[in-house]
Amino acid sequence: MLRLIQLELQKLWLNRASKVLIIISFILPLFIILLSSFKIPFFGYFTLELGELGLFNFPLIWHLVTFFASQFKFFFAIVVVSMIGNEYSNKTLKQNLIDGLSKKEFILSKFYTIVFFSLISTIVILIMSLCIGYYYSSFTELVIVTRELEFLFAYFIKLVGFFSLCLFLGMLVKRSAFALASLFVLFILEWVAYLFLWKFSTEELATNIQNFFPLKSMYKLIDEPFARIAATKIPDNQELIRDYAVHFSEIAVVLGWTAIFIFLSYQLLKKRDL
């Protein structure tokens, strides 16, 4: 396993474009710290400081930070897609196989790298959240700090699932740009399917089915935190009280998709004549 990760990391790290993208994808989420110190002046009457609003209280911070950080996953998605695209365009995939890498090992080396990257990213987010949290949070008791840590786990699963989808699309269309385009097409298709379902059944049923679609199920892992934040400010508003927790079923669905995407990528490579 170590050998396969080393192999892939060498390919990525020596490529300037992917090196830059990897660095960007690690650095950009750190700017959430900047957000925390943001002061919005209201015409000199008073200053709104986000950090003082209780946004960075444990355990809410886990939800907030993982939600925002996961928006930056797109940068590494480009890396994933191009690491497949380059292997095809340089024909190095063929050469790798001739040199004695099995097709299974090839897919695994990509998958391990995805898991490895997601893990590092999760750890970075963990450390960053702890720093911001201990600085701003009103509660720093260990019991409260460790509550809702499942958001971090959901973040990890979300990244692995999303990058596996990118890996599969890369294998399917062989070219990076087209793979990213097909990601967008998939996004549109999911919404078209949703609207169709809604038209021919109820909104509730349509939403329930949509939650099983690949992109939606990944998005659903970490719900948007705005309503929840609003709810903490206006506790009486019943409309804002929703279910924000990370559910085991949601994780299972994404893990299911991950398995399907990796399996399909392998089958695709196995069937193909290079």
Partner 1 sequence: MEPILTINNLTKKFGYLTAVKNLSFTINKGNVYGILGPNGSGKSTTLGIVLNVVNKTQGNFHWFDGNTTTHDALKQVGAIIERPNFYPYMTAEQNLKLVCRIKGVDKSKIEEKLEIVGLLDRKTHKFRTYSLGMKQRLAIASALLNDPEILILDEPTNGLDPQGIHQIRQIIKDIAAKGTTILLASHLLDEVEKVCSHVVVLRKGEKLYSGRVDEMINSHGFFELKAEKHQALLEVLESHSNIGSVKVEDELITAFLNEPMSASEFNKLMFDKGIFLSHLVKRKESLEEQFLQLTDNQEN
Binding site for partner 1 (CB under 8 A): 3, 6-7, 10-11, 14-16, 86, 90-92, 94-103, 270-271, 273-274
In the complex with partner 1, the residue whose CB is nearer, 14 or 234, is 14
Query: Shortest approach of partner 1 to residue 182 CB, angstroms?
Result: 25
Query: Shortest approach of partner 1 to residue 113 CB, angstroms?
Result: 14
In the complex with partner 1, the residue whose CB is nearer, 79 or 218, is 79
HEC letters along the chain: CHHHHHHHHHHHHCCHHHHHHHHHHHHHHHHHHHHHCCEEEECCCEEEEHHHHCCCCCCHHHHHHHHHHHHHHHHHHHHHHHHHHHHHHCCHHHHHHHCCCCHHHHHHHHHHHHHHHHHHHHHHHHHHHHHHHHHHCCCCCHHHHCCCCHHHHHHHHHHHHHHHHHHHHHHHHCCHHHHHHHHHHHHHHHHHHHHHHHHHCCHHHHHHHHCCCHHHHHHHHCCCCHHHHHHHHCCCCHHHCCCCCCCHHHHHHHHHHHHHHHHHHHHHHHHCCC
In the complex with partner 1, the residue whose CB is nearer, 112 or 156, is 112
Question: Packing angle between helix 248-271 and helix 214-221, nearest 10 degrees?
Answer: 140
Query: Shortest approach of partner 1 to residue 74 CB, angstroms?
Result: 23
Query: Shortest approach of partner 1 to residue 23 CB, angstroms?
Result: 16
Query: Shortest approach of partner 1 to residue 266 CB, angstroms?
Result: 14
In the complex with partner 1, the residue whose CB is nearer, 88 or 187, is 88
Identity of the amino acid at 25:
S
CA distance 203 to 180: 30
Distance of CA 220 to the CA centre of its chain: 11
Query: Shortest approach of partner 1 to residue 274 CB, angstroms?
Result: 4
In the complex with partner 1, the residue whose CB is nearer, 2 or 142, is 2
Query: Shortest approach of partner 1 to residue 116 CB, angstroms?
Result: 16
Query: Shortest approach of partner 1 to residue 1 CB, angstroms?
Result: 13
In the complex with partner 1, the residue whose CB is nearer, 199 or 271, is 271
In the complex with partner 1, the residue whose CB is nearer, 19 or 39, is 19
Question: Quick check: 73 and 159 in contact, CB under 8 A?
Answer: yes
In the complex with partner 1, the residue whose CB is nearer, 23 or 252, is 23
What six digits make up the tokens of 28? 């950009």
Looking up tokens 């201990």, which residue turns up?
134
